[in-house]
Structure 1
Amino acid sequence: MRRWRRASSVALLVIALSVTGCGITIPSDPQGTLDRVRGGELRAGASPSGELVTVDGSDVGGSLADLVEGFADSVDARVTWTVGSEEDLVDALESGDLDLAIGGMTDATPWSQRVSVTRAYEGVPGAHGPVVLLVPLGENAWQADLETYLDREVAP
């Protein structure tokens, strides 16, 4: 039993060193979303939803939009908004045309089979319960950075 544990520990060490040597970071973004957005453009989708997301012509506002704008500032990016239905925004996330989408989505969203869903946040002004943001599947570093920001900004 002791030999098996030692062999397992050595094997894990070899794997860890191999991965480190390859330059792989965890979490990672296969499509490079976080690296592309930093210092560039954050392509955000908005679906109108009460005080959370307001749309007036080309202006997007509301408490969720303010959070997205603040997050963009934190990564030195400018936000370009696309307004549409939830389904249109999910399609755009899947095709790589958007980096995130906001609206009145909750953790019970039916879109979780097609896109990734952030943790639920209850302290968003204007929300009538926990809300989530949608991001492309597999962009884990991007989602982790966004959730870290939201954890700091949204009261528990």
Structure 2
Amino acid sequence: MKLGVVSAFLLLGACDALPRDPAGTSERIAQERSFTVALADPTVRSAPEVGKLVHEIERRTGAHAQWLPGSGETLFQQLDDGALDLAIGRFTADSPWAMDVAFGPSLSTGGTTDAPLKLQAAMRNGENRWIMTVERASRAISPEAAKE
């Protein structure tokens, strides 16, 4: 009986560590109290969802966004390398980076019916705790994201 109770407490304690960030993104953000973000497409800066998303992530993490310059393909490599925490832009469903980065839920959709462009955040693949934080923030600020 005592062994079962001890095992249960050990399992409960381990649950706090899930999901994990193998590269420690969430832990670093909590320690440094900042995260890096850049716009893959500078034209999205005026989209209200961008500011709402960043503010919601700041609220959830207690960290401040540090905006970095840059756009386009170089940001995806920075995400993959861990030099950038978040890239926000409009992406197509068949983005060539879909296997290399994690895309969050769509905040809004534009473009044409044949080629929709989804406004969404991209994060480093595998950093599951950080990805979950951004996904929850996305769903909290966007009715479209909440449906996904």
Q: TM-score band, normalised by the shorter chain?
A: 0.7 to 0.9
Letter in structure 1 aligned against 2:20: S
The answer to whether the aligner puts 1:107 opposite 2:93 as a matched pair is yes
How is 1:65-144 mapped onto 2 (pairs within 5 angstroms)?
65-122=51-108, 127-128=110-111, 129-144=117-132
Structure 1 unaligned residues grouped into runs of 5+? 1-15, 55-60
- Counterparts of 2:41 and 2:101, CA distance in 1: 19
Note closer, same or farther for the CA distance 1:38–1:22 as it changes in structure 2 (3 Å cut).
closer
Structure 2 unaligned residues grouped into runs of 5+? 1-6, 112-116
Identity in percent: 24
More strand by share: 2
Equivalent in the alignment of 1:45? 38
Shift >4 Å, 4+ stretches: none
Equivalent in the alignment of 1:23? 14
TM-superposed deviation, 1:73: 2.7
- Counterparts of 2:119 and 2:42, CA distance in 1: 11
Rg comparison, structure with higher value: 1
SS at match of 1:38: helix
More helix by share: 2
TM-superposed deviation, 1:66: 3.8
Equivalent in the alignment of 2:142? 154
Note closer, same or farther for the CA distance 1:78–1:21 as it changes in structure 2 (3 Å cut).
closer
The number of equivalent residue pairs is: 130
The answer to whether the aligner puts 1:33 opposite 2:25 as a matched pair is yes
Equivalent in the alignment of 1:64? 50
- Counterparts of 2:59 and 2:75, CA distance in 1: 22
TM-superposed deviation, 1:135: 0.3
- Counterparts of 2:93 and 2:34, CA distance in 1: 27
SS at match of 1:89: helix
Letter in structure 1 aligned against 2:38: G
- Deviation string, structure 1 residues 4-56 (Cα, Å, up to 9, x no partner): xxxxxxxxxxxx97x93883633211111112212611111213343x225xx
Contact 2:57 2:133 in 1 (8 A): no
Letter in structure 1 aligned against 2:104: T
TM-score (norm 1): 0.69
Letter in structure 2 aligned against 1:32: G
Letter in structure 2 aligned against 1:112: A
Letter in structure 2 aligned against 1:133: A
TM-score (norm 2): 0.72
TM-superposed deviation, 1:155: 1.8
SS at match of 1:30: coil
